[in-house]
A and B are shown apart, each in its own frame.
Chain A
Amino acid sequence: MTEPKENKVTIKIPRALYNNLKSIIQDTGFNSVTDFIVYVLRDLASRGGATGEGGSLTREEIQLIRRRLKNLGYL
């Protein structure tokens, strides 16, 4: 599906690396090199914090989740 443009940015990587990654993900569950890179980077980012927070929920997502948890009586 097409993502709204503002939710994604383009990052350029060397073509040789791209081709190498393409061969690495063959016969795996990754549908594309992009999915693989996002997976690896998310994993890396999530290991970054000492608190366990990790990850990259947006401010808007956090507000929506907060509202949901409040409606569910958890907050």
Chain B
Amino acid sequence: MAKKVFVIGLDCATPQLVFGDWKNKLPNLHKLIEGGIYGELESTIPPITLPAWASMVTGKNPGRLGFYGFRNRKNFSYDDMFFANSYSVKEDTVWDILSRQGKKVIVMGVPPSYPPKPLNGIMIGCFLTPDTDSDYTYPSSLKDEIREKVGDYIIDVHDFRTEDKDYLLHQIYKMTEIRFKTVHYLVTAKEWDFFMFVEMGPDRVHHGLWKYMDREHIKYEPNSPYEHAIFDYYKYLDEEIGGLLALLDEDTVVLVVSDHGAKKMDGGICFNDWLIREGYLTLKTGVDEPTRFKNEMVDWGKSLAWGSGGYYGRLFLNVKGREPQGQIPPEHYEGVRDELIRKLEALTDHRGRPLGTKVFKPDDIYTEVRGIPPDLIVYFADLDWRSVGTVGNPGVWTFENDTGPDDANHAQQGIFILYDPRQKLGRRVSGLHVMDVMPTVLNLMGVDVPPNVEGKIVV
């Protein structure tokens, strides 16, 4: 018999915490782990929220989806970018397919889901919803229903890059509480066969408070009152999850998944300053203090490449006939890319130790490349260091963040737990990828997996 499936998405929930020391201290997740199958879930390249969740629900890689992060190149000009949103997902999602099969679906906060699209059930927009005045639910009348029956819904924390950690924690708990209340309401009041929601709290708490927990963190503060803040939040999440599990029947398979993991952030590589130092990027005039990188600053006639900041680095080449003032002849494109890969992989830290940077060519890692990806995707120190986009920094290495306080970077491995109340599975599995979630759900529900899906059925 086709089963119901309930997917709990925990943005950034990370295996070393959930499957590690805390496993026995989180009783509800522990029950799912012990009775189900679980393992590390490999994220997309890059392990960034939008492409990772979109790959998870479509079973297709970012190259086929045609977007690679929040901002993507619209064309080959130097600064024309677009924000990925729900319209950017042109492949069938798991709920599109289930809707067509007549299954009732509820989708809440799964990025990217703003603007919400009609489906056979309910959709609530993700954290990219502008605000709760926006038309962020389908059907639109649900917005008022939630306000009336549950309370004021919270899209995301307001100010995440703050030094006021009490305020940040207060916001995160408030958001998680109202989200779980909303899930409670929808689980019990609405008809559904497939339910998926994503809670952003783990991501916010990792980025905001990791340094207080991790003794290996470069900014670790011993005896901080926030030392257990992340653990306490996971405990709270576990209790909330327990409350939801109590609502589900024996025919409902539960999945707990994350889009990527988390790890300490050791520092930042000033990508554009490095490109300047290596002779690939030339500014019109020198900049002697950290300044936001802008197209207008660059002497494009003398520049071969530029970079973008973020949890990973994006490198773009200035190619003749492609960019407005392109300099690299197309026949030298591969040569320049390979040269940059060699140099980036050889990059050391501020003490001369190898960083172990990984560099990817989009055309090597994706089965198809749609839209305009970066020419190179760079994991500085395998994501132990972030990419800093500003120019005019005192050196190539920095321990300050140009976008505000942030203690954690994204890690390639997230979590996967699948629990079927009717079967004792009880094993750890390896080799799982975010793209496996969609076909696994379809299979559990007795729906054929389309042939062009890349992920594999886990059970």
A interface list, Cβ under 8 A from B: 1, 3, 7, 27-31, 35-36, 38-39, 42, 45-47, 51-57, 60-62, 64-66, 68-75
Verify A71–B118 contact, CB threshold 8 A.
Answer: no
Q: Once bound together, how far apart are the Cα atoms of A53 and B134, in whole Å?
A: 20
Q: Once bound together, how far apart are the Cα atoms of A45 and B88, in whole Å?
A: 11
Chain A residue at minimum C-beta to C-beta distance from B99: A29
A31, A45, A61, A71: the one contacting B159 at CB < 8 Å is A71
The answer to whether residues A52 and B75 also contact, given A28-B120, A71-B160 and a CB cut-off of 8 A, is no
B66, B85, B105: the one contacting A55 at CB < 8 Å is B85
Q: Does B79 contact A (CB under 8 A)?
A: no
13 contacts between A and B (CB under 8 A): A27-B102, A29-B118, A29-B119, A31-B139, A38-B118, A51-B73, A52-B66, A54-B90, A55-B87, A61-B134, A64-B131, A72-B161, A74-B70
Verify B90–A57 contact, CB threshold 8 A.
Answer: no
Q: Once bound together, how far apart are the Cα atoms of A45 and B87, in whole Å?
A: 9
Verify A75–B403 contact, CB threshold 8 A.
Answer: yes
| Extra 9 A-B pairs, beta carbons < 8 Å, given A52-B72, A52-B88, A65-B128 | A28-B120, A35-B139, A42-B117, A46-B87, A51-B73, A51-B371, A52-B84, A65-B130, A69-B83
Closest 7 CB pairs of A and B: A55-B87, A29-B120, A64-B130, A52-B66, A53-B82, A73-B403, A46-B87
Count of chain B residues near A, Cβ 8 A: 53
A45 to chain B, nearest CB (A): 7
Verify A53–B74 contact, CB threshold 8 A.
Answer: yes
B interface list, Cβ under 8 A from A: 65-67, 70-75, 82-88, 90, 99, 102, 104-105, 115, 117-121, 127-128, 130-131, 134-135, 138-141, 143-144, 156, 158-161, 207, 310, 370-372, 401, 403-404, 406
Q: Once bound together, how far apart are the Cα atoms of A74 and B72, in whole Å?
A: 13
Q: Once bound together, how far apart are the Cα atoms of A27 and B73, in whole Å?
A: 40
Chain B residue at minimum C-beta to C-beta distance from A47: B90
Q: Once bound together, how far apart are the Cα atoms of A47 and B161, in whole Å?
A: 36
A68 to chain B, nearest CB (A): 7
Q: Once bound together, how far apart are the Cα atoms of A75 and B72, in whole Å?
A: 12
B86, B90, B121, B130: the one contacting A52 at CB < 8 Å is B90
Verify B71–A75 contact, CB threshold 8 A.
Answer: yes
A55 to chain B, nearest CB (A): 3
Verify A73–B140 contact, CB threshold 8 A.
Answer: no
B216 to chain A, nearest CB (A): 22
Residues of A within 8 A of B65 (CB): 52
Q: Once bound together, how far apart are the Cα atoms of A51 and B65, in whole Å?
A: 11
